[in-house]
Amino acid sequence: MKLEGQVALVTGAGSGIGRAIALAFAHEGALLGVADVDTAGAQETVRQIESAGGQALALDMDVTDEGKVTDATDRLAERFGRLDVLVANAGIQIVHPVEDFPADEFRRVVDIHLTGAFLCTKAAVRHMYAAGRGSLIYMGSVHSHEASPLKSAYVAAKHGVLGLARVMAKEGADHGVRANVICPGFVKTPLVEKQIPEQARDLGISEEEVVRNVMLGRTVDGEFTTLDDVAQTAVFLAGFGSNALTGQSINVSHGWSMK
């Protein structure tokens, strides 16, 4: 097993990509903190891990609330005795053209993706620095490197996550802590299913055209990225054995982005 005995905190692990990563980590022998604002979703992920013979703790965490983030992170480290991996994954999507984008919705997207990743990092590195080791994994997106219309908040936030990870690669180096970003293309999760009718409406095209042209048009093969593609990339980054791999972003996107 690639992550035997390691303790990992995954945010947004009550659904989609976060759940897939939590399950893949548990399969590789990790002990999981399953954090989500959706506590029923987090509990369901824990149930799935436990029924497969793993160990996990459901954590009620809104990543924008520093007190909750710190408390939940400390609770996890206390329960399992250490913290080796953070996967800052929680996220939402809101799409509008800039001229119609309500400022409070813009702030909310940036707050969850970017401030949330910062707060989770701040809470996690206290444990990692004390132990002299750790792996920070940020859920970026192809939109950490590319731009699409209607996604000003998301693209700005995901570019910001890349910057945060690069700073953490430098700050963490003296403490044995690595920082990397996974940049998936479109993965069919609730976050993406919700966008298909919204984009069709805003762009004045059919839902099939949104999928074929907007979401998959720039891939090399017209395929969605899968949950397992992203989860296995996270396993690889979490288990990488030296500090050589830090400050990087990995596009898992069927060639949509090649940066």
CA dist 223 and 211 (Å) reads: 10
CB of 4 to ligand NAD, least distance (A): 26
Binding span for ligand NAD by CB under 6 A among 25-33, 58-66, 203-211, 233-241:
58-66
Instruction: Pick the closer one to ligand NAD by CB: 80 or 154.
Output: 154
Ranges within 74-113 binding ligand NAD (CB under 6 A): 89-92, 112
One of 28, 62, 84, 146 touching ligand NAD (CB under 6 A): 62
3-state helix, strand, coil in the chain (%, to 5): 50, 15, 35
Instruction: Find the length of the chain.
Output: 259
154 classed as catalytic: yes
Instruction: Looking at residues 193 to 252 of the shown chain, list those that interact with ligand NAD (rule: CB under 6 A).
Output: none
Segment contacting ligand NAD by CB under 6 A, of 121-129, 145-153, 187-195, 242-250: 187-195
CA-to-CA separations, 114 to 55, 121, 155, 158, in angstroms, rounded: 29, 11, 11, 7
Q: Measuring CA to CA, how many Å separate 56 from each of 5, 22, 30, 164?
A: 12, 9, 9, 28
The residue at minimum Cβ distance from ligand NAD is 16
The rounded distance, in Å, linking the Cα atoms of 3 and 196 is 36
The separation between the first and the last C-alpha atoms of the chain, rounded to the nearest angstrom, is 31
Task: Find the shortest distance in angstroms from Cβ 235 to ligand NAD.
Answer: 16
Closest separation in Å from C-beta 44 to ligand NAD? 10
